[in-house]
C-alpha cells in the first residue's frame, strides 16, 4: 500500500520541478536526487508488497518510507506557501521580502539535506535487513495506459447490473408487495449475512415497473450502524420529492419530533412504499415506525438487515425472508457475466480453473463478483497465478472476501489505489455523487491529465475501473453514464483499515475517532462536532477537512468549537468540504493550496471575502444543501483564474475572469451570462442558466449566438422560475440552434415559449441523447420529427402546457428507449408515431 503514496509523492516532486522551477533553482539537483532515490525505493516496495506475507522488518521499513514521503511533501508545500505569501505582500512589508526569501532558501536547503541523510539511512537499513529484491513490479502498477484504455472501451458502463440467482426470491417478494390482500401497512424483512445481495434484491423490487405503477409514493433510505433518526427521516422526505423551495428550507431546521410529524402528514391517506436499507438494531425501526402511517391504503415497507432478530422483531404484520447462498450453477452464471468480458477464447483449462475458484467462493455473490472483476483484467495465462495465490490463503477450505480483495487491491495502479482508499471518507451507505468524487480527487492532486484527456476524464476512468472490478457499486445511471455510486459495507471496512495503516484518513463518527493521529493528512467528521473539537491537538499537516454531519452547526468567532481549523492547521489545506457547517475562518493569509471548497448555499454570504482570496481554487461548490438555496449577493471570482467548476444558484451578479479552464457553470442568471466573454469558455462542458426573476424588467434574453461559441458543451439547461418564460431574442437566433450541436448530449429547457416548431433544430444535433421540454408552451399546435432526425436520442420528455399533435416518422429516433408525454389536454393530443416507439411510452 505504501507504494501508492510514494508514487504520488514522486509525481508531486516532478510537478514542482516543472511548474515551480524558478523557486527551486537552488535545490533542483538535490530534489532530482531525492526523486531518483524514492523511485528506486518504490521498486523495492512493490517487491515487498508482492510477497504473500510481509515480515516485521519489512513492515517497519515500509513505515519509515511512508513517513519520509509525507515529510518530503510537507517541505515542498510549506516552502511554496512561504514564497507565495511573500509575493503578495504590499507596502513596507514588501521591503523585507529579499531577506525573507534568502532565509526561506536557507531553510529548504537545510530541510533537504536532512531528507537526503534520512533516505540514505532508509536505503542502508534495507540493505542491512535484506528487504526486497527489486524484481519487476507486479500487478496493476505495470499495466500500460494503452491496455487500461482498451479495457475501459471493452465494456460499456451502461450495462445494467443483473441480479443472478434471486429470481425466485424476487418473485415471492413481488407477490407480497403487489398482491397481498392486507390493506394495513405490511412489512417485508430481507435478512442474511453481508455480501449476499440484500440491497441488490431490494433495489430490484424498488425499481420494478409494476411496483412503480402500483406505488405512486416511493422512498429509499439507509440506516447503517451509525445513524441519526433525523437524518433518516430527512432522506425519506427528500426521496418522496413532495417538498420544494422554501418548504424544503423550512423543514431542514426541524427537530426530530417535528420531522416525524411532518413525514406522517405527507404519507397520511396515501399508498406508499418505503425501503429501509441496512438496519442493525430494533431501536432504529422503533424510531422510524411512528412516522410511517398505519393506514388502510395497502402501504408497504421493505427492511434489509444482517440480523434475524431485527428482521423478526418488527411489530405488526410482517414477512421475514432469509436470503440464501447461490448454488454453484448460479455462482458460475454470475462469474461468467463478468470474468470473460475481455477474453474471446475460453479453453477447457481456463474454464476448469475458473470453476475451481468459483466453487471455493461458497455461493457468496460479493466474493464472486470481486474475483471476477480481478480476473477480467488478467490474461488467460495469469489465471493460474491468481488461483495458486488464493489456494495458499484458503480458510475453512473457502476463499474469503478479504483474500480476494487484497489480490484485487494489489493489482491496481497507484492512482486507483488512492481513489479506493479515498472512499473511506464517506459515511456508511452514503450515495456518492460521481462528479463530486471526481472534483475531490482532482483537488487532492491524485490525478494527472495528459494530452488526450483532462484530469476529470482520467478520474472518471479510475472510478469506472473500480466499478468494473466490483470494488465500487453503480447506483444511478443517466445517459449511459454512472451518476452516483456506493461502496459495500465490507469493502468500506477494508478501505478504512488500510487508510488507518497509511495515516491517510482520520474518521470521526458518533462514538469516537476510528483513528487518531497528529500527522494524518485528512480529517473527516461524520457527527458530533463538539467531541471532535475537544481533542487537544492541532494537526499542521492536514491537507483535507470534510464534514458530512447535520446542517446548522453555528460556530462563532469566540467559540471553542472547531479549534483544529485555525490559521496554523489550514495553511496546507487542499480540500475544505464544510457541508452544512458554518464557522469563522481564523486564517489571515491566502490558502494558496486550497483547490476545493464545498459549502452550504445558505451560509455563502459569510464566506464572500474569504472566497475572493482563493486564487488557485479549482472547484467552488455551493450546492451542498438539498433545497438549493439561492445566492442573491454579488459574487466576484475574477481573481480565481484556476476555476474548473462553479456550482450553486447564483441569482445575483456573478463575475468571472479568465475562464479558460472552466468546465462546469451552474447555475447563473441570464443577465450575468450575457456579460461573460463567451469566446474564452473554450472548455465549458456543463452549463445551466436559471432565470430566477419574476420581474419583466430584470429578465434578460439569452443570446443563442453566445451558445454557438461553446464547442465542447455537453449538457445544457435553460430554466425559468415556475410560471415564468425565458425569452429568446429572435426567430433567426433560434434557427441557428443547430450551430451549438457538435458535442451536446443533453438539453433541458424549462419555461420556454416556442413560436415555431423546435424539432427541426433539435433533431440535427448529432450527439444528442436526452431532450426534455418542461413547462414549455408552443402555440403552433403541431411538432414533427423527420425520418433522419435524432440519430442518437435515447430519452424524449414533453411536459407541455399545450400540444395538439406530435408526428414522428418511421425511421426517426432509432435508439429511443424512453418517451414521456405529459400535457394538460393529453386526451386531445393526436399522436402519430411508429408502433415501436409506443412501447417506449410511460
In angstroms, rounded to a whole number, what is the distance separating the alpha carbons of residues 562 and 542? Answer: 14
Residue 462 predicted with pLDDT over 90 = yes
Q: Looking at residue 627, what is its pLDDT?
A: 59
Helix and strand totals (H; E) in the chain: 29, 31
The pLDDT of 821-828, averaged and rounded, is 74
pLDDT confidence band for 298 (50 / 70 / 90)? confident
Mean pLDDT of the region 410-439: 92
Specify the 3-state DSSP secondary structure of 593.
coil
| Whether the Cβ atoms of residue 652 and residue 631 lie closer than 8 Å to each other | yes
- Local confidence band at 472 (pLDDT 50, 70, 90 cut-offs): very high
Rounded CA separation 505/488 (Å): 18
Among 56-70, 275-289, 394-408, 556-570, name the one with the lowest average pLDDT: 556-570
* Of the listed ranges 297-311, 344-358, 732-746, the one predicted with least confidence: 732-746
CATH class as words, domain 167-322: alpha beta
pLDDT of residue 251: 80
The answer to whether 319 and 187 are in contact (CB under 8 A) is yes
Out of 42-46, 93-97, 246-250, 329-333, which region has the weakest mean confidence (pLDDT)?
Answer: 93-97
Predicted confidence at residue 147, as pLDDT, reads 42
DSSP output for 462-491: HHHHHHHTTSSEEEEEETTEEEEEE--HHH
Which pLDDT does position 591 carry in this prediction?
83
Residue labelled with grid coordinates 446542517: 551
What is residue 713's predicted lDDT score, i.e. its pLDDT? 92
Phi, psi angles (nearest 5°) of residue 219: -150, 150
Task: List Cβ neighbours of 210 (8 Å cut-off, separation of 6 or more).
Answer: 174, 178
- Domain 414-494 in CATH 3.40.50.2300: no
Least confident of 486-495, 717-726, 803-812, 830-839: 717-726
User: Across-strand partners of 395?
Assistant: 398
| pLDDT band at residue 353 using 50, 70 and 90 as cut-offs | very high
pLDDT confidence tier of residue 317, bands split at 50, 70 and 90:
confident
Residue closest to 599 by CA, chosen among 591, 611, 589: 611
**Statement: residue 701 has pLDDT above 70:** no
Q: What pLDDT shows up at residue 752?
A: 79
- Prior bond of 667 cis (ω within 30°): yes
Average pLDDT estimate for 99-105: 57
Given CA atoms 787, 793, 794, 795 in this order, what sign does their dihedral have? negative
Q: What integer pLDDT is reported at residue 740 of this predicted model?
A: 57
Query: All 3 cell numbers of residue 629?
Result: 438555496
Q: How confident is the model at residue 89 (pLDDT cuts 50, 70, 90)?
A: low
Task: List phi, psi (to 5°) of 654.
Answer: -115, 115
- Predicted local distance difference test score (pLDDT) of residue 96: 54
Quickly count: other Cβ atoms within 10 Å of residue 84's Cβ: 16
Residue range 772-791: mean pLDDT, rounded: 86
Strand partners, 482: 477
- Quickly list DSSP for 415-481: HHHHHHHHGGGSPTT--EEHHHHHHHHHHHT-----SSS-HHHHHHHHHHHHHHTTSSEEEEEETTE
The closest alpha carbon to 578, from 587, 591, 565, 563, belongs to 565
The residue ranking higher by pLDDT, 243 or 487, is 487
Q: Is residue 141 exposed (0-12), middle (13-18) or buried (19+ Cβ within 10 Å)?
A: buried
HSE, side-chain direction, 13 A CA sphere, residue 567 = 5
pLDDT at res. 98 = 54
Grid cell for residue 279: 438496519
- 94-98, 163-167, 828-832: the lowest-pLDDT one: 94-98
Contacts of 551 by beta carbon, 8 Å cutoff, 6+ apart: 252, 579, 580, 581, 600, 602, 625
Q: Comparing 167-322 with 414-494, is the CATH topology the same?
A: no
**Is residue 513 predicted with pLDDT exceeding 70?**
no
More confident residue, 458 or 658: 458
- Higher model confidence: residue 53 or residue 373? 373
For the packed helices 401-410 and 489-501, what is the interaxial angle rounded to 10 degrees? 60
CA distance 17 to 40: 18
How do residues 713-723 score in pLDDT, each as one tens digit? 999 998 876 54
160 confidence band (pLDDT: 50, 70, 90)? very low
Is the pLDDT confidence value at 146 over 50?
no
3-state secondary structure of 795: strand
Listed ranges 51-65, 173-187, 616-630, 782-796; the one with the highest mean pLDDT: 782-796
State how far Cα 237 lies from the chain centre: 22
Identify the weakest region by mean pLDDT among 144-153, 178-187, 250-259, 276-285: 144-153
Full strand arrangement of the beta sheet holding 272-279: 217-222, 272-279, 300-305, 186-191, 318-322
Identity of the highest mean pLDDT range in 50-59, 205-214, 269-278, 755-764: 269-278
Domain ranges in the chain?
1-91+100-129, 167-322, 328-411, 414-494
Packed helices 380-391 and 348-360: angle between N→C axes, nearest 10 degrees: 30
- Amino acid 51: pLDDT: 66
What is the average pLDDT across 509-518? Answer: 55
Cα 423 to Cα 430: distance, rounded to the nearest angstrom = 10
- 147 Cβ neighbours under 8 A, 6+ residues apart: none
For the cut 60, the answer to whether the pLDDT of residue 698 exceeds it is no
- For cell 398482491, the residue is 179
CA distances from 383 to 12, 219, 249, 395 (A): 35, 43, 55, 20
Residue in the block written with cell 390482500: 181
Say whether pLDDT at 10 is over 50.
yes
Q: Point out the least confidently predicted range of 258-262, 544-548, 635-639, 732-736.
A: 732-736
- Cα–Cα distance measured from residue 476 to residue 645, given in angstroms and rounded to the nearest whole number: 22
Task: State residue 148's pLDDT score.
Answer: 43
Instruction: State how far the Cα of 421 lies from the Cα of 203, in Å rounded to an integer.
Output: 26
Per the prediction, the chain carries an average pLDDT of 81
What's the full length of the chain, in residues? Answer: 842
Q: From CA 476, how far away is CA 435, in angstroms rounded?
A: 12
Q: Is the dihedral of CA 87, 92, 98, 104 positive or negative?
A: negative
Of 416, 569, 519, 415, which is closest to residue 12 (Cα–Cα)?
Answer: 415
Tell me how crowded residue 443 is: count the other CB atoms within 10 A of its CB.
Answer: 27
User: Which of 51-55, 182-186, 308-312, 637-641 comes out lowest in average pLDDT?
Assistant: 51-55
| Helix (H) or strand (E) run with residue 348 in it | helix 348-360
The dihedrals phi and psi of 497, each to the nearest 5 degrees, come to -60, -45
The larger pLDDT score, comparing residue 507 to residue 1, is at 507
Cβ atoms 316, 294 nearer than 8 A: yes
The answer to whether 773 touches 749, Cβ cutoff 8 Å, is: yes
* pLDDT mean over 430-442: 95
CA distances from 389 to 174, 303, 519, 624, 808 (A): 42, 38, 35, 45, 58
Q: What is the 3-state secondary structure (H, E, C) of 648-702?
A: EEECCCEEECCCCCCCEEEEECHHHHHHCCHHHCCCCCEEEEEECCCCCCCCCCE
pLDDT of 245 reads: 56
CA distance 8 to 428: 27
Mean pLDDT of 334-358: 88
Least confident of 140-149, 481-490, 656-665: 140-149
Distance CA 613, CA 2 (A): 35
CA–CA gap between residue 820 and residue 801 (Å, rounded): 14
Amino acid at each position: 500500500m505504501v507504494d501508492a503514496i510514494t508514487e504520488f509523492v514522486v509525481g508531486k516532486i516532478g510537478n514542482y520541478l516543472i511548474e515551480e522551477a524558478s523557486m527551486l533553482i537552488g535545490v533542483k539537483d538535490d530534489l532530482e536526487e531525492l526523486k531518483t532515490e524514492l523511485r528506486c525505493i518504490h521498486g523495492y516496495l512493490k517487491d515487498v508488497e508482492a510477497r504473500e506475507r510481509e515480515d516485521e522488518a519489512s513492515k517497519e521499513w515500509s513505515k519509515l518510507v511512508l513517513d519520509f514521503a509525507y515529510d518530503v511533501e510537507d517541505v515542498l508545500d510549506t516552502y511554496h506557501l512561504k514564497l507565495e505569501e511573500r509575493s503578495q505582500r504590499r507596502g513596507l512589508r514588501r521591503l523585507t521580502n529579499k531577506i525573507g526569501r534568502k532565509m526561506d532558501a536557507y531553510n529548504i536547503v537545510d530541510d533537504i539535506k536532512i531528507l537526503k541523510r534520512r533516505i540514505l539511512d532508509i536505503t542502508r537499513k534495507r540493505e542491512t535487513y535484506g528487504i526486497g529484491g527489486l524484481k519487476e513490479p507486479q500487478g496493476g502498477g505495470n499495466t500500460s495506459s494503452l491496455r487500461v484504455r482498451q479495457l475501459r472501451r471493452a465494456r460499456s458502463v451502461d450495462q445494467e447490473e443483473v441480479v443472478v440467482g434471486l429470481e425466485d426470491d424476487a418473485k415471492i417478494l413481488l407477490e407480497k408487495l403487489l398482491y397481498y390482500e392486507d390493506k394495513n401497512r405490511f412489512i417485508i424483512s430481507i435478512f442474511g449475512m453481508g455480501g449476499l445481495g440484500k440491497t441488490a434484491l431490494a433495489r430490484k423490487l424498488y425499481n420494478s415497473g409494476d411496483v412503480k405503477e402500483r406505488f405512486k409514493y416511493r422512498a429509499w433510505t439507509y440506516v447503517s450502524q451509525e445513524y441519526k433518526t433525523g437524518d433518516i427521516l430527512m432522506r425519506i422526505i427528500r426521496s418522496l420529492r413532495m417538498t420544494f423551495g422554501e418548504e424544503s428550507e423550512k423543514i431542514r431546521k426541524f427537530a426530530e419530533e417535528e420531522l416525524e410529524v411532518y413525514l406522517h402528514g405527507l404519507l397520511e391517506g396515501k399508498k406508499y412504499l418505503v425501503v429501509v436499507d441496512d438496519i442493525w438494531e430494533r431501536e432504529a425501526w422503533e424510531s422510524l415506525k411512528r412516522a410511517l402511517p398505519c393506514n388502510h391504503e395497502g402501504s408497504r415497507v421493505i427492511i434489509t438487515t444482517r440480523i434475524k432478530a431485527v428482521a423478526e422483531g418488527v411489530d405488526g404484520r410482517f414477512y421475514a425472508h432469509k436470503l440464501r447462498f447461490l448454488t454453484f450453477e448460479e455462482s458460475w452464471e454470475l462469474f461468467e457475466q463478468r470474468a470473460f468480458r475481455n477474453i474471446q477464447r475460453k479453453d477447457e483449462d481456463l474454464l476448469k480453473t475458473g470453476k475451481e475458484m468459483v466453487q471455493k467462493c461458497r455461493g457468496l455473490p460479493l466474493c464472486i463478483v470481486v474475483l471476477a472483476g480481478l480476473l477480467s483484467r488478467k490474461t488467460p495465462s495469469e489465471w493460474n497465478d491468481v488461483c495458486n495465490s488464493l489456494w495458499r490463503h484458503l480458510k475453512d477450505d473457502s476463499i474469503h472476501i478479504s483474500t480476494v480483495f487484497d489480490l484485487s487491491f494489489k493489482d491496481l495502479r497507484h492512482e486507483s489505489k488512492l481513489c479506493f482508499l479515498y472512499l473511506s471518507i464517506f459515511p456508511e451507505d452514503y450515495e456518492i455523487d460521481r462528479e463530486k468524487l471526481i472534483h475531490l480527487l482532482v483537488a487532492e492532486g491524485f490525478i494527472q491529465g495528459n494530452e488526450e484527456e483532462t484530469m476529470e476524464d482520467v478520474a472518471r476512468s479510475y472510478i469506472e475501473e473500480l466499478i468494473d472490478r466490483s470494488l465500487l457499486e453503480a447506483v444511478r445511471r443517466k445517459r449511459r453514464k454512472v451518476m452516483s455510486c456506493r461502496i459495500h459495507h465490507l469493502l468500506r471496512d477494508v478501505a478504512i483499515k488500510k487508510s488507518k495503516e497509511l495515516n491517510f484518513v482520520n474518521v470521526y463518527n458518533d462514538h469516537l475517532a476510528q483513528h487518531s493521529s497528529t500527522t494524518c493528512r485528512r480529517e473527516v467528521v461524520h457527527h458530533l462536532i463538539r467531541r471532535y473539537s475537544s481533542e487537544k491537538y492541532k494537526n499542521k499537516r492536514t491537507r483535507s477537512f470534510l464534514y458530512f454531519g447535520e446542517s446548522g452547526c453555528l460556530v462563532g468567532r469566540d467559540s471553542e468549537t472547531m479549534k483544529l481549523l485555525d490559521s496554523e492547521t489550514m495553511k496546507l489545506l487542499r480540500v475544505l468540504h464544510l457541508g452544512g457547517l458554518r464557522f469563522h475562518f481564523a486564517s489571515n493569509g491566502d490558502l494558496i493550496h486550497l483547490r476545493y471548497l464545498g459549502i452550504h448555499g445558505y451560509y455563502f454570504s459569510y464566506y464572500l471575502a474569504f472566497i475572493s482570496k482563493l486564487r488557485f481554487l479549482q472547484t467552488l461548490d455551493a450546492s451542498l444543501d438539498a433545497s438549493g438555496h439561492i445566492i442573491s449577493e454579488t459574487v466576484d471570482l475574477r481573481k480565481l483564474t484556476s476555476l474548473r467548476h462553479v456550482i450553486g444558484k447564483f441569482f445575483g451578479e456573478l463575475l468571472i475572469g479568465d475562464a479558460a479552464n472552466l468546465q462546469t457553470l451552474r447555475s447563473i442568471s441570464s443577465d450575468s451570462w450575457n456579460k461573460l466573454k463567451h469566446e474564452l469558455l473554450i472548455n465549458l462542458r456543463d452549463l445551466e442558466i436559471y432565470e430566477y426573476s419574476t420581474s419583466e424588467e430584470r429578465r434578460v434574453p439569452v443570446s443563442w449566438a453566445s451558445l454557438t461559441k461553446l464547442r465542447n458543451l455537453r449538457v445544457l439547461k435553460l430554466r425559468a422560475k415556475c410560471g415564468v418564460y425565458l425569452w429568446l431574442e429572435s426567430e433567426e437566433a433560434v434557427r441557428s440552434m443547430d450551430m451549438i450541436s457538435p458535442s451536446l448530449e443533453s438539453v433541458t429547457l424549462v419555461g420556454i415559449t416556442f413560436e415555431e416548431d423546435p424539432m427541426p433544430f433539435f433533431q440535427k444535433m448529432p450527439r444528442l441523447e436526452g431532450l426534455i421540454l418542461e413547462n414549455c408552451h408552443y402555440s403552433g399546435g403541431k411538432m414533427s420529427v423527420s425520418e433522419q432526425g435524432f440519430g442518437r436520442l435515447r430519452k424524449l420528455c414533453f411536459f407541455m402546457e399545450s400540444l395538439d399533435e406530435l408526428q414522428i416518422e418511421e425511421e426517426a429516433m432509432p435508439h429511443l428507449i424512453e418517451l414521456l408525454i405529459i400535457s394538460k389536454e393529453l386526451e386531445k393530443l393526436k399522436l402519430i408515431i411508429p408502433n415501436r416507439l409506443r412501447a417506449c411510452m410511460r
